[in-house]
Amino acid sequence: MKQAIENYLREISNFTTDSADELEKFRVRLFGKKGVLNDLFTEFKNIAPEERREMGKVLNELKNAAQQKLDELKATVGSSEKKNTKELDLTLPPAEYLTGSRHPLQIVRKKIIDIFTNIGYTVAEGPEVEDDWHNFSALNFAPEHPARDMQDTFFISENPDVLLRTHTSSVQVRVMEKTQPPIRMIFPGRVYRNEAISARAHCFFHQVEGLYIDENVSFADLRQTLMYFAKELFNSETRIRLRPSYFPFTEPSAEMDISCNLCGGEGCGFCKHTGWVEILGCGMVNPAVLTNCNIDPKRYSGFAFGIGIERITNLLYNVKDLRMFSENDLRFLKQFVSAI
């Protein structure tokens, strides 16, 4: 044991380094749980009592020598690393700070909301998980009504009464149940339909629906409101047309087209050479819906409309594939920094 201690003393005396990693290995080898000193002190317990005094003195010399060498090298390595560290130059320009951008759908959503809030509409939101009453029945969808087949639905349990909403019209119902006219509100949100994902369709998308109910509201009010919206969103030269359509919750109903913003209505590949592009559905609120929501249809009338945000974003930014909105590709999203 005495010979081993003398060998360790020579090793400690000759050891030198300017590396923090090597110094740490040196410390662990000597002072670690399975290190040299720990093993020697364990062995010290087993030597004869008459030898302990001399061996204890030698062991302490080894421990002190190891600690002294460790302290000396720590100071040397520390000063060496400081010399190698470059001083901070406060005159240098700052590192480039990359700012993020809002998602294109959120940019367009805000534009639509701003247009309608500027003319007195308020915003309401509701749950994405709905029941059959608010999503279908209150909106004049009878259980066997063929219009239910227009919207393939995600049911989230075996109970057909619980589903992912297929439109934000469900929020209209919730508002009408609790609020008496006048009502002038818009309802933005995400909706879900069981459709095959492609460049033109997705299983989820975003809407902004609108509702105005008061005394003596007419189809002319609906047309003027939507004309204002189209001119504000696109440009003052935009024209609109309303084509007869069918929705169970509005009567009469219409699809609204705008003059193609790419060709100015002259006809191009985007508008299929018609000069018109469809952007939303609308109509006068069906009296049956008013009755279901405890609003007197003899006193009040109103109109409703539904706008697909992806559709509007396609028109504004000429995005040809709907899937790009949900793929989080930074090469695509960075294009919209200037649009904020």
CATH code of the domain containing 215? 3.30.930.10
In a domain, 77, yes or no: yes
User: What is residue 95's predicted lDDT score, i.e. its pLDDT?
Assistant: 78
In terms of domains, do 227 and 157 share one?
A: yes
In terms of domains, do 258 and 159 share one?
A: yes
* Higher per-residue pLDDT: 266 or 183: 183
**Does 212 have pLDDT greater than 90?**
yes
In a domain, 90, yes or no: no
* Higher per-residue pLDDT: 266 or 306: 306
Relative orientation angle of helices 104-117 and 219-233, to the nearest 10 degrees: 130
Mean pLDDT of 315-340: 82
In terms of domains, do 241 and 332 share one?
A: yes
**Does 174 have pLDDT greater than 80?**
yes
In terms of domains, do 30 and 113 share one?
A: no
User: What is residue 100's predicted lDDT score, i.e. its pLDDT?
Assistant: 72
The pTM of the whole model exceeds 0.75: no
pLDDT in tens, 11-41: 877 878 878 888 788 788 777 777 777 777 7
Q: How many CB atoms lie within 10 A of CB 42?
A: 9
In terms of domains, do 152 and 264 share one?
A: yes
Spatial contact of 132 and 163, defined as CB atoms under 8 Å apart? yes
Range of the domain at 36: 2-84
User: What is residue 1's predicted lDDT score, i.e. its pLDDT?
Assistant: 66
In terms of domains, do 78 and 115 share one?
A: no
**Does 333 have pLDDT greater than 80?**
yes
Give the start-end residues of each E strand in the chain. Answer: 122-123, 129-131, 162-164, 183-192, 204-214, 240-247, 250-259, 276-285, 301-308
Mean pLDDT of 39-50: 74
Q: What are the start-end ranges of the H helices in 32-91? A: 36-44, 49-84
In terms of domains, do 133 and 282 share one?
A: yes
In a domain, 96, yes or no: no
Q: How many CB atoms lie within 10 A of CB 78?
A: 12
In a domain, 114, yes or no: yes
Q: Which is it for strands 183-192 and 122-123: parallel, antiparallel or unpaired?
A: parallel
**Residue 57: which residues within 8 A CB-CB, separation 6 or more?**
none
In terms of domains, do 28 and 110 share one?
A: no
In terms of domains, do 243 and 196 share one?
A: yes
Rounded distance between C-alpha atoms, residue 221 and residue 238, angstroms? 18
**Dihedral in degrees, nearest 10, Cα atoms 190, 195, 201, 202:** 40
- Give the total number of structural domains in the chain: 2
pLDDT category at 195 given cuts 50, 70, 90 is confident
Spatial contact of 233 and 223, defined as CB atoms under 8 Å apart? no
In a domain, 57, yes or no: yes
User: What is residue 215's predicted lDDT score, i.e. its pLDDT?
Assistant: 96
In terms of domains, do 196 and 128 share one?
A: yes
* Higher per-residue pLDDT: 11 or 247: 247
Of 84, 118, 141, at which residue does a domain stop?
Answer: 84
In terms of domains, do 29 and 75 share one?
A: yes
In terms of domains, do 111 and 198 share one?
A: yes
User: What is residue 252's predicted lDDT score, i.e. its pLDDT?
Assistant: 95
- Mean of all residue pLDDT scores within the chain: 85
Of 23, 54, 84, at which residue does a domain stop?
Answer: 84
